[in-house]
Every structure is written in C-alpha cells, then in structure tokens.
A and B are shown apart, each in its own frame.
Chain A
Amino acid sequence: MNEISVSINLPTIIFFSSTLLILGVCLFLIGYFVGKQSSAGVCNTVINTKPTSFFQETEKDKTVVSIDDTKYVVDIKTSGMEKKYESLGEINQSEEDISSSINKLKNMKR
C-alpha cells in the first residue's frame, strides 16, 4: 500500500491563517459600510414620537417655526455685493435759508 505523506511547515500555517484573518476583517468592514449606507435613508424616516392616542395619527412632519420676512424685518444683508464704481449719485448745492421757516413752525407748535 502506498503511503501519501503531506508535510506542512509552520511558516505556511502562519501565512494561511493571517491571510484568512485579513480577509475576514476586510469583509466585515465592507459589510459594515454597505449596511450603514443602505440604512441611512431608513433611519431618517423612523418616527420617534410616541402616539398619544390609538385613533390619532402619529405626527410625521414637525412644524418648523419660520419668520415671514415679507411681514417682519429680520436681516438685510448686503455683504456679498462687490462695489465696482468710484462714486454714486449727483451732488447739488442750494443756498437756501431754512432757519426762518423752522423758527416760525417752532413758534406755531408751542
């Protein structure tokens, strides 16, 4: 009867076991990231609010408080605008004396 002898030495065992370990870690990481990406959309739609009544529908969209800036003045930003000119507007001078008219009006308002 023929005998088959297989000799496996220690470096070969170490090589195979480390390759398997690295492969396992890689597969775990790939699975982790793929799972995270695919569940991202699902997690956002989960309703966290507790239903108050059996018959009442669970509130899906929370109302966001917003200020209507066409009714109430909030902030008017002009910082993003870059000026591309030297001067703006025409300047005129008038030699009018308005002091007498102001004094007259002051006396009438007393």
Chain B
Amino acid sequence: MAAGLDVGTSYIVLSKENKNSIVYKDFRDAFYVIKPTTPVATKMIEKGLAGKVFIKDADGSFILLGKDAIEKAIERNDTAKRPMYKGVVSAKEKDAKKILAFILKEVAGKAKEENEKLVFCVPAQPVDQEDEDFDVGYHEDVVKTILAECGYSAKAINEAEALCYAELEVEDYTGIAVSCGAGMTNVCVMLNGEPTVVFSTTKSGDWIDRMSSVATGEPDSVVQAEKEAGGFTIGEPNDNPVLGAVSAYYERLID
C-alpha cells in the first residue's frame, strides 16, 4: 500500500488507498506558542486549553497546533506561526523543524509495513527568489528524514507535476498545471506525460495576506480568516476594507 503526502505551507494532507476508496487526512500547518511565567499560570493555561490540540514542550511552554493555533492568535490579536515559509521549512522560525516533524509524524503515522512507499510534494526552484535561504534540497532532506523515522521509504515529486498526473488523464497528460498554494505558485508544462518546464514563484496566498495586512493594519491571521470565509469577488470593490484589499491584491498577483 502506498501513500501520498502534500507538505504545504498552509495544509498538510495525507492520502492513502483503502480498498476502493481514498482516505484523506488534512491538518492546518500552523502553531502558536504560549510561554507561562509562573507555575500558577501554567496550571491556568493548561486548564484553559482543554479540548484544544496542543503539546507541552520540554521547556514548559504550550504549543497550540492547527486551527486552534490560528484561533488563539486571533483571540490575542497576534499572528500564528508557520513551520513552513514560502513552500519550504522555515529558516525564520527556530522551532520550525521540530514542530514540522511532530505534525508530520502525527499525520503520516507509523508505516504499516517496513519501507512502505510514500510520495510527497516539493516545490520547484522559484524564478523570483535568489535567496540562499531558499533550499528545496534541504527541505526535501528534512521531510525524508522525518518520514524515514516513521518507517516510510519516501520519494519527492514536484507539486505541479503531481497535479498534471492527477488532472490531465483525458488530455493524454499534455497541458499546463498551476498549483496556487499558500507559500508559492508552482507551474508545470507537461507533454505526453513528461514535464518539460517546471518553475515556481514565491508570490501566492501568503503574499496576498501580508500585503492586505500592511494595507489595512490588521494582523495576517485576521486577513487570512476573512479571506477564507469568502464574500468577495476578484476585481470588484468590497464594503469590507480587508476583503477589498484581498480582492485588489489577487488581481495584482494574476496580472
């Protein structure tokens, strides 16, 4: 039995074949750290977090994961952190690797058999980023190492290429696939099942959130929540200033 894993900036999705169906498990790729200052505060915070998805770190801090992290960040007028940034493991966050490892291990679980095959998505090298911090190879190694610990024999595939294989069956695997993620936009041009051009840009969903956040003065998490709730049409003015900014920046991204 093989499995597929989309390690995205916003969501981590695992798919596994189950008889005649496919089972998907998805989890929001976000975290929010709460550091208690006193032992009394520790107890109170732990009580307050009952029912939420969180972990207690060795240093005594509480790390909320997934949707609960975003909700808590909004509650505190703050921004939730991400273990991934622009499609790869975040170099900005100190705990990124550790938290990504924890989430991946939980989502993928232990392999049912030794060296169970697993294919995971990686982004292409971006055309608009010549930063040394952006290292797809390093990101691939991190994910492979984590999955190997779970007993998987993991193999990487380009995100847009995977999309071509999933959607271009009728067109004999000839066409263009554009994957609009949170961190990146990946593009693959395929000809008869062979990827001919593969590239990415670092302007995508998070860029829209960031720019709208700067324009309106609201935290990124608030912009993201408003955007995902919908209620706007690209290119049309909106009464809500946040959604108006989101609509405008979507238009600019497409241009």
A-side residues, CB < 8 A to B, are 70-73, 76-78, 80-85, 88-98, 100-101, 104-105, 108-109
The answer on a CB contact under 8 Å between B56 and A94 is no
Given contacts A101-B169, A108-B193, 17 further A-B contacts (CB under 8 A): A70-B138, A71-B138, A72-B141, A73-B142, A78-B101, A80-B57, A81-B63, A83-B55, A88-B27, A89-B107, A92-B24, A93-B18, A94-B22, A94-B24, A95-B21, A98-B17, A108-B192
Give the residue of A73, A94, A95, A109 whose beta carbon is less than 8 angstroms from that of B193: A109
Q: List 15 A-B contacts (CB under 8 A).
A: A78-B102, A80-B58, A81-B98, A88-B27, A88-B65, A88-B103, A92-B24, A94-B21, A95-B21, A96-B21, A98-B17, A101-B165, A105-B165, A105-B169, A108-B193
Contacts between chains A and B (CB distance < 8 A), count: 98
Contacts of B23 in A (CB 8 A): 91-93
Chain B positions near chain A (C-beta within 8 angstroms): 14, 17-18, 20-27, 46, 49, 52-58, 63, 65-66, 91, 97-98, 101-103, 105-107, 135, 138, 141-142, 145-146, 149, 165-166, 169, 172-173, 192-193
Return the 5 tightest CB-CB contacts between A and B, nearest first. A80-B58, A89-B27, A82-B56, A108-B193, A73-B141
CB-based nearest A residue for B172? A108
- Give the CA-CA distance A82 to B55 in the complex, in Å: 5
Cβ contact of A88, chosen from B49, B53, B57, B58, cutoff 8 A? B53
Chain B residues with CB below 8 A from A73, complex form: 138, 141-142, 145
Q: How far is the CA of A91 from the CA of B52 in the complex (A)?
A: 17
| Smallest Cβ-Cβ distance to B141: which chain A residue | A73
Shortest B92–chain A CB gap in Å is 11
Contact in complex: A91, B25 (CB < 8 Å): yes
Which of these, B22, B26, B102, B146, contacts A81 with CB under 8 Å?
B102
